[in-house]
Amino acid sequence: MARSSSAKPPATKGASNTPPKSNNPIQKKRDDYSSEGVQDNDIFLLPISDYQVMFVLTILGAIVRLFRIYQPTSVVFDEVHFGGFATKYIKGKFFMDVHPPLAKLLITLFGWLAGFKGDFDFKDIGKDYIEPGVPYVAMRLFPAICGIFLVPTVFLTLKAAGCRTATAALGAAFVIFENGLLTQARLILLDSPLVAATAFTALAFTSFTNQHEQGPSKAFDASWWFWLVMTGLGMGITVSMKWVGLFTIAWVGSLTLVQLWVLLGDTKTVTMRIFAKHFLARAFCLIIIPATFYMAMFAIHFVCLRNPGDGDGFMSSEFQATLNNKGMQDVPVDVAFGSRVTIRHVNTQGGYLHSHPLMYPTGSQQQQITLYPHKDDNNLFLLENQTQPLDINGEPINGTGAWDNAKNMTENYIKDGDVIRLYHLATHRRLHSHDVRPPVSEADWQNEVSAYGYEGFTGDANDLFRVEIAKKQSLGPLAKDRLRTIQTKFRLVHIMTGCVLFSHKVKLPEWASEQQEVTCAKGGTLPNSLWYIESNAHPQLANDAEKVNYVNPGFLGKFWELQKVMWRTNAGLVESHAWDSRPESWPILRRGINFWGKDHRQIYLIGNPIVWYTATLAVVVYVLFKGIAVLRWQRSCNDYSNATFKRFDYEIGTWVLGWAFHYFPFFLMQRQLFLHHYFPALIFGIMAFCQIYDFATTRLAIPGVRENPIINKAGVISLLAISAVVFALYSPLAYGNAWTKTECNRVKLFNTWDWDCNNFLESYDAYSGLSASTSQISQTAQPAAGKQPPVQQQQDSPKVGISGAPKFEPQGQKVIGREERVEYRDQDGNILNEEQVKALEGKVEFKTKYETRTRVIDGNGNEVDVPIEDLADAGVAPPHPDVQGANQETKKAPGDDPVDVAKEASSSKDGEKEAERSVPKPASEGNEATV
C-alpha cells in the first residue's frame, strides 16, 4: 500500500540528503493501458524450486488417483454409457449422445490401444470386467491422467496470477484431496477431462492477461501470441468435451471485451490500426480456432461412425442415407395412381407409415396403423384413385392392378388436391379413419387411424384422403404442383372428418410392439402432419424414367443437424432421477450421487467438505467485499486509487466471475442436473479462495502478517493437514474400499448425505471372511441350464452385473452355498411344468424377473424361519438410480413434450424385420442421451 506524503524535515548539519528507501516505493503512474501492480509472472521463468514443488505435488496426485484404479472390477454408474460408446466407436455403429465427441474418442483410443475390440456392451451397472477380459483399467486411465494433469495446471495458474509458491501448492493440494474430483477421475466418465480442459483454459487466459496487462511492450510478442493461441485451443478442447465449455467461452469472452474496452480508451499508445490488430488477433484465436477444433472433432466422429446403429433413428433420412447400407438406389420421381410407395413422416424421424395383422384392443378393434423405423414389406402402400380407371368401352377396370396398364402416365400423376386411397399391399386393407378415439391419445381432437377391409372389398368413404402439398417445404416447381418422390412434402386430409394424418413422439404399448402412434388430428401442428414418399415403383415407368435420391447433406449439413438434435435431446431430459439435485444445493454439498454398491462396499460421489466450503466462503467474501466497495465508491471514497485494492477487486473478481458463469446458468435449466455439474465452478472457487488467502497473508498491509512469510506457510500447512485428514475419512466412498458401520456413521454429518451405512460390515475382519466365503461359493455354485420359453420366469439369484441388495450374510454365520434356479410362471404366479411351457412356446411373450431368496439352516441342516425385519437388517446397498424412486426436486418444464430418447420400436409382425425371432430385453435399458 502506498504511503501518504508528508513534509520533509529540515536537514541537519552532516546529515545525508539521500532519503531513506521505502519498502513500498510509489510507482510512477503510466499513461498507457498497462495495469498498476502487475509483474511478469511467466510460468516458463519460475525458479527451479517452484518446479520441484510442482513435481512433488504431481507425483502425489498420481498416487492418489491411480491407487487401486482397478477397483471395482465391474461397471460403475455412467460407465454404462461412456464405455458403451467406446464399443460403438470401435464397431463404427452410429449413436446419438448429447455431449460432443472428444472425450469419448480419447477414452476409445485408450481402450483400443490396450486391445479392446468392442466385444463388451457395458450394459448393466455391476457387470463384471474380469471374465470377458475388458481392458477397463486402460480406459479409466485417460480420466485419471486428466485428474493428475489438473494438479500442476492449478499450481501454474495460481503462479501466473502472482501467488506465492506456498499458496499455489495449497490450491494444487486442494485438488489432490478433493474426494469428488478423485471419484470422477477414477472411472470412465467425462467430467475429469472436462475439468482439466477448463483449468487449462484458465491457465492460458491468465497467462495471456498477465502479458496483456504489462502494456504495449509485450503486445504481439511470442509469449503474448502463444498464450492467446493456447486460450483458443483450450476453449475448443473444453467445448468439444461437453457443452459446459460454452460457459468457459463466455467467461473468456466477457473478460476479452473488458480488455478491448480498455484498449479503446488508450488514445496515446493505441491507434485505430493497433486496435484493429488487437481485435483481429483475438477474433482469430478466440473464435476461429475453437470453432475449427470443435468441428474437426465432429469430422472425426463421422469418420468413425459409418455404420447404422441405434442412434440413427434420431436423424433425418438424408443423414441416414450417408451411413453404410442405409443409402438407397435412385428411385423414379414421378408418382401416379398405381404407384407402390413407402411414406415417411417428416418431423419425428419415427419412420414409415406401417401396418401389420394386429388389431387395436379398444376403439374400433380394426387393424393397427403405426410408424415403424425400419424398411419393411409392411410399409408398402398402393396409391389408388377414388374411382377406378375405365377401359376402351368406358367400363371400370376393377382390382388393385387396374392402373398397371395405363397408357398415358401423365394423366395419372397425383396432383395437389387429388383424392386418393392408400391400399396396404401385405394385408389387403385400406388406410381408414373415423370418429373414434385412439387407444392412447384419447383427446377429442384425435381420431383413430386403422386399416379396414379385405381383398376384393371396394372400400367406403372413410378410406378417402385429399392430398395437400406443403409448397414452402417442397423442393422445385414441379414438386409444388404434384407428388414427386422425396421432393414433395404433403398432408393427407381425411375427407369425411377433415382431420389430417398425424404422428407424434408417443409410443404405443406392447400390443403394438411399442411402435409410434399414428392418429388423425383435427388441429395437429403442421410439422407433425407432413409426410413424403421415399420409394416409388410403377409397372409403367421405364428404366430411363427420371429418378431422384436424397441430397447428400455434406459435412456441414450433418454437423448442423446433429447440433440441433443434441440440443433438443438435452432439453428433453426433464424426467426426475433418483440422484439428481438442484443448483442451490451444490455450494453447500447437500447430497451426492450413488455410483455403485456391491459386496458391502459402495462408491458414492461426495466432495471434501473442507475444500467445498472454503471455495464457497471465497465467493461469499468477495460478494461482501464488492458490495462494500460499491457503497464506498458511491460515497466518493478513493479506494480504487490504491493499486492493491484494485488488483484484489480485479483478480478475485475474475475467478468469482468464472464461478458465476459455470454455476448460475444451471438455474435456467429444467433438465436433470447432478452434483458433478458443479465441478468446473468448484475449480474457480478453489482458485478464488487461494488468491484471497495470498492477498491476506502477503499483499495486504495487515500488521505483523505481510512481514512474516512463516504465517503464509503455516496457514498453508494447517489447511493441507485438515483437508488431507478429511479426505482420508471419506476416501472409502471414492475408492470403494472396505469400511465399517461405526466409521461411516461417525463422518456422516447430515441426513441428506444419503449413502447407507448399514451397507457396510461391523468390522474389517468380517470383510476377510466375506472374501473367503465368496471364493467357496464360486466353486460350489452350479447354475441351471435349459431353454427359456416366452413366459414369465423367476430366478433365485440376481443376475450378474445388476447392482442390488447383497446376499444375506448376517454376522457370525457362514454362507455354505448358493444355487441358481429358473422357474416359469404364468401371470398369476403359478409354476408351469415342462409340458405347459412347451405348449406356450412361441405364443406368448415373457418377462424376466430376478429374485433373491434366502434360506437359513442350523448346524443339522434344518431350515430356520427368519423374520423379514431380520433380513432387512442384514444390510442393503442403495439401488441403482434407474430403480430407486425419483427425486421430487427436479422441475419439469410446463407443457414440454420430452424428447423420446433411445428406446427403439420393437419388431412388428410379418414383415422383413418381423421374421426375426423376438428376443428378451433387459428390464432397464440405458438412454443414449447421457447427462
Output phi, psi for 383, to 5 deg: -90, 120
Residue position matching grid coordinates 490500426: 273
| Torsions phi, psi for 236 (to 5 deg) | -65, -40
Say which DSSP state 307 is in: B
pLDDT at site 876 = 35
pLDDT at 312: 83
- 3-class SS at 97? coil
pLDDT band at 317 (very low <50, low <70, confident <90, very high): confident
Strands (E), 539-605: 547-548, 593-598, 601-605
DSSP of 63-125? HHHHTTTT-SSB--TTHHHHHHHHHHHHHTB----SS-SHHHHHHHHHHHHTT--S-----ST
Model confidence band, residue 177 (pLDDT cutoffs 50, 70, 90):
very high
pLDDT tens for 491-543 read: 999 999 999 999 988 889 999 888 999 999 987 667 889 999 999 999 888 88
Each residue of 409-431: pLDDT tens digit?
Answer: 778 899 999 999 999 999 999 99
For residue 390, the 8-state DSSP code is: B
Average pLDDT over residues 582-606: 92
pTM above 0.85, yes or no: no
Q: How far is CA 642 from the centre of its chain?
A: 47
pLDDT in tens, 65-93: 999 999 999 999 899 999 999 999 999 99
Does 357 have pLDDT greater than 80?
A: yes
At 866 the pLDDT is 53
Q: How far apart are CA 301 and CA 552, in angstroms?
A: 17
**Three cell numbers, residue 53:** 514443488
Predicted pLDDT at 344: 92
What are 541-553's pLDDT values in tens digits?
888 889 999 889 9
Identify the pLDDT of residue 899: 40
What does the pLDDT read at residue 555?
94
Q: How confident is the model at residue 561 (pLDDT cuts 50, 70, 90)?
A: very high
Cβ–Cβ < 8 Å for 312, 326: yes
Residue-wise pLDDT tens digits, 249-277 = 999 999 999 999 999 998 999 999 999 99
| Number of neighbours of residue 440 by Cβ within 10 angstroms | 17
Tell me which of 826 and 474 has the higher pLDDT. 474
Q: Work out the average pLDDT over 197-216.
A: 95
The average pLDDT across 463-474 equals 93
Residue 693: how many other CB atoms lie within 10 Å = 22
What is the pLDDT at residue 865?
A: 59
Given a cut of 80, is residue 806 above it in pLDDT? no
pLDDT (0 to 100) of residue 835: 73
Residue 902 has pLDDT above 80, yes or no: no
Res 7 pLDDT > 60: no
- Rounded to an integer, the average pLDDT of 467-474 is 92
Contact residues for 84 (Cβ-Cβ < 8 A; gap 6+): 121, 122, 123, 926
Looking at residues 661-668, what average pLDDT do you find? 95
Task: Record the cell numbers describing residue 205, joined without a space.
Answer: 487466459
- According to the model, what pLDDT value does residue 810 have? 46
CA–CA separation, 795 and 784 (whole Å): 10
Grid cell at residue 561 = 443437424
Please, are residues 482 and 413 in contact by the beta-carbon 8 Å criterion? yes
| Cα distance between residue 86 and residue 122, in whole Å | 10
178 has pLDDT over 50: yes
**What is the band of 846 on the pLDDT scale with cuts at 50, 70, 90?**
low
DSSP state, residue 39: -
Collect contacts of 892-896 with beta carbons under 8 A, ≥24 apart: 892/574, 892/575, 892/576, 892/670, 893/571, 893/574, 893/670, 896/571, 896/572, 896/574, 896/670
Angle between helical axes of 222-239 and 191-212 (0-180°, round to 10): 160
Q: Report the Cα 704 to chain-centroid distance in Å.
A: 51
- Note if the bond before 290 is cis, omega within 30 degrees: no
pLDDT of residue 783: 40
Q: Measured on CA atoms in the order 221, 222, 225, 231, is the torsion positive or negative?
A: negative
pLDDT at 389: 79
pLDDT value, residue 554: 93
| CA-based torsion, 34, 35, 40, 41: positive or negative | negative
